[in-house]
Amino acid sequence: MTDLAWIDAALTAARPQALGALLRYFRDLDAAEEAFQEACLRALGNWPRNGPPRDPAAWLIFVGRNAAIDQVRHRARRQPLPPDELISDLEDTESAMAERLDGSHYRDDVLRLLFICCHPGLPATQQIALALRIVSGLPVRRIARAFLVGESAMEQRITRAKARIAGADVPFEAPGPVERAERLAAVSAMIYLVFNEGYSAAGDDTSRRAPLCDEAIRLARLLLRLFPAEPEIMGLTALLLLQHSRAPARFDAAGGVVLLEDQVRTLWNREMIAEGLALIDKAMRHRRTGPYQVQAAIAALHARASRPEETDWAQIDLLYATLERLQPSPVVTLNRSVAVAKTLGPEAALALIGPLEPRLSGYFHFFGVKGALLMQLGRADDARCAFGQAIALANTAAEAAHIRQHLDRLAPDPDQKRD
């Protein structure tokens, strides 16, 4: 690996810690970002010559903080800065002091940084955009592309979000245990949203959005490294890995949706599955069940089945029932109906989703599932009607095309035959 590639990876890895600590010093996102940029520039000049420091994040925090303080002094005194060579000669002292920086603050710093991005005053899309910009350091151009908006529109959105946060009363003190638990939940949800933004993309869109899934996984891993004994974060990380492991099999060459049971399972990423399974196994030993763990456990049962027929649907049904208790939602019940259809048959599944219709009358997947169940029961006309509603509610062309395939499989519509 070249120096530059290594430094690039090291800067990306150190970014959340370094930026989090700089934010603690400056209490201002823009100032922290500027200081971090300056530190990165100096790292690019310095590390190839002197070798990478033992703790890149500590180095960047120290150098970034001093550079910003120098700037303030410089402006105050109107004196020229010492030449760059002189600053570089201080390298040995700098790194020695950087080594002494207290690493125990990192955890709260990063948590605070993530928490600021998922400020409840911001809409979800702004939370995601801000996290991707501030925590991950993704260029605005790439974030804009993922959200399918222009670069200047995204720039504006991020600026507005920052202004909103600057105006809000954001606490900078280390959070207490209760508040920390709340923050962890908010941050986990934000990471989950980043992932979904990438995951829910249509087939023709996946290459553009898949990096969001990778980034969400990176953030989840980071959070897990900060809180290595939190089962829900193990569960979240496992869930994202297990879902993303199926990415290469989810769409066909034409960008069409491939259902789980039709996916070529040898395309699934075994390494991600192995890590996901290891994490969910570990999480379950804590006996502190949470929604992410249950969802990961469901994904794990799919991952463990090498053929669709080997899927343990009874266990999946039980897990969905647990999820309904932990996090009641019509969408969870809808998902459970798929497992119920496999274990008790389509009739029972249809009875389960019947009461959901008033609340899910605008939900594409509701009518997709309903149509599929009716089709299994041989009620072609009712199925056709449900599929028609699904198409009307489809979010992407791929979704609509997928439902049309179902319609094609049904017996031809007698009304159409008369035409």
Query: Which range, of 90-98, 125-133, 223-231, 366-374, touches another protein by CB under 8 A?
Result: 223-231
Using CA atoms, how far apart are residues 124 and 130, in angstroms rounded to an integer?
A: 10
Which run of H or E residues covers position 187?
helix 177-199
User: Does 12 interact with another protein (rule: CB under 8 A)?
Assistant: yes
List Cα–Cα distances, 386 to 341, 393, 395, in angstroms. 17, 11, 16
User: Does 275 interact with another protein (rule: CB under 8 A)?
Assistant: yes
User: Does 165 interact with another protein (rule: CB under 8 A)?
Assistant: no
The answer to whether 117 and 131 have CB atoms below 8 angstroms apart is yes
Closest to another protein by CB, 122 or 234: 234
List Cα–Cα distances, 363 to 274, 357, 394, in angstroms. 33, 9, 8
Return the residues of window 64-93 that contact another protein according to CB under 8 A. Answer: none
Local structure of residue 359 (DSSP, 8 states): T
The answer to whether 187 and 220 have CB atoms below 8 angstroms apart is no
User: Does 228 interact with another protein (rule: CB under 8 A)?
Assistant: yes
Query: Which range, of 29-37, 150-158, 273-281, 326-334, touches another protein by CB under 8 A?
Result: 273-281
Among 77, 285, 307, 418, binds another protein (CB under 8 A): 285
Binding mask 233-272 for another protein (x = CB under 8 A): -x--x---------------------------------x-
User: Does 218 interact with another protein (rule: CB under 8 A)?
Assistant: yes
Q: Which of 33, 5, 11, 21 is nearest to 62 (CA)?
A: 21
Only one residue has tokens 């095309």, namely 401
Closest separation in Å from C-beta 203 to another protein? 20
User: Does 279 interact with another protein (rule: CB under 8 A)?
Assistant: yes
Count of H-run helices and E-run strands, the chain = 21, 0
Closest separation in Å from C-beta 275 to another protein? 5
At position 168, the amino acid (one-letter code) is A
Rg of the chain over all Cα atoms, to the nearest angstrom: 25
Return the residues of window 329-348 that contact another protein according to CB under 8 A. Answer: none
Structure token digits, residue 23: 């934010």
Query: Which range, of 96-104, 149-157, 171-179, 224-232, touches another protein by CB under 8 A?
Result: 224-232
Among 73, 141, 225, 288, binds another protein (CB under 8 A): 225
Q: Which of 270, 276, 330 is nearest to 306 (CA)?
A: 270
Closest to another protein by CB, 5 or 178: 5
Q: Degrees (nearest 5) of the Cα angle 150, 154, 158?
A: 175
Closest separation in Å from C-beta 44 to another protein? 16
User: Does 274 interact with another protein (rule: CB under 8 A)?
Assistant: yes
Closest separation in Å from C-beta 225 to another protein? 6
Using CA atoms, how far apart are residues 308 and 22, in angstroms rounded to an integer?
A: 50
Query: Which range, of 96-104, 169-177, 278-286, 379-387, touches another protein by CB under 8 A?
Result: 278-286
Closest to another protein by CB, 293 or 337: 293
Using CA atoms, how far apart are residues 251 and 4, in angstroms rounded to an integer?
A: 35
Closest separation in Å from C-beta 130 to another protein? 20
Q: What is the DSSP string of 130-147?
A: HHHHHTS---HHHHHHHH
Structure token digits, residue 65: 């903080």
Query: Which range, of 28-36, 173-181, 275-283, 327-335, touches another protein by CB under 8 A?
Result: 275-283
User: Does 224 interact with another protein (rule: CB under 8 A)?
Assistant: yes
Measured over the CA atoms of residue 298, residue 304, residue 307 and residue 311, the dihedral's sign is: negative
Among 166, 278, 326, 351, binds another protein (CB under 8 A): 278
Using CA atoms, how far apart are residues 245 and 268, in angstroms rounded to an integer?
A: 5
Q: Number of residues in contact with another protein, rule: CB under 8 A? A: 27
Residues that bind another protein (CB under 8 A): 1, 5-6, 9-10, 12-14, 56-57, 214, 218, 221, 224-225, 228-229, 234, 237, 271, 274-275, 278-279, 281-282, 285
